[in-house]
Amino acid sequence: MDLPRIFTIRESSHRIHNPLTPAKLAALGQALHLAPGTRALDLASGSGEMLCTWARDHGISGTGVDVSTVFTSQARARATELGVDGQVDFIHADASGYVADDPVDLVACVGATWIADGVAGTAELLRRSLRPGGLILIGEPYWRRTPPDQEAVEACHAASETDFKLLPELIEQFGDLGYDVVEMMLADQDSWDRYRAAQWLNLRRWLDRNPDDELAAEVRAELTTEPARYARYGREYLGWGVFALMSR
């Protein structure tokens, strides 16, 4: 049970595995007015940057669950580095279907709604761990504008145009599911650049160190084609944001 190697190679230098910059992640924590002692559950927690920095900056506590052994190890190391290992812990496990033993104040899935087959399923999974009146955080892509053709759709790592919604439609979907959107933090094009361009450097440095690895051809192909595909399509058509929800 783990992520494919290509994913951890691609994001080997990343602390945040989505297009939020550290400044935007910090701004989101501030915007939510997190009280000391807030208890959180983060499903698909990656390298733990959200829980660790919010534990340091706001005094929250919580648990992260992620399928990647590499990222879980990095999250534990980050907690130790920031002196919050007594406040947060990280579990290597499949986050799909994971429910907290006791209801928490904040439950999140930031950028991995595939764990419950999309937004609706993920919102329902998160709700099962949430105390009444608590906050749900969902990170999700959306179309900045409608892609012109299937080539553009696939270049944005979607199988169909219907995989993502335009931003107003995504917000309306949350409402249809019975939630108020009470805050949001959106990636901008510079946020995307920082996230995606760092992947290319990670790929190139890995390739230089591992030219004979069984994944070398796949890494070379991605590094050859992805920068231009991103500049032509992803940067123009794909948005991403974290949305804070409260049940109506």
Q: What is the pLDDT of residues 48-90, one digit of tens each?
A: 999 999 999 999 999 999 999 999 999 999 999 999 999 999 9
pLDDT on residue 2? 85
Q: What is the CATH number of the domain that holds 41?
A: 3.40.50.150
pLDDT on residue 1? 74
Range of the domain at 24: 5-247
Q: How many domains does the chain have?
A: 1
pLDDT on residue 226? 97
138-151 residue pLDDT tens: 999 999 999 999 99
12 pLDDT higher than 80: yes
Average pLDDT over residues 131-141: 98
Contact 125, 97 (CB under 8 A): yes
97 or 123: which leads in pLDDT:
123
Share of the chain above pLDDT 90, in %: 98
pLDDT on residue 112? 95
Is the full-model pTM beyond 0.85? yes
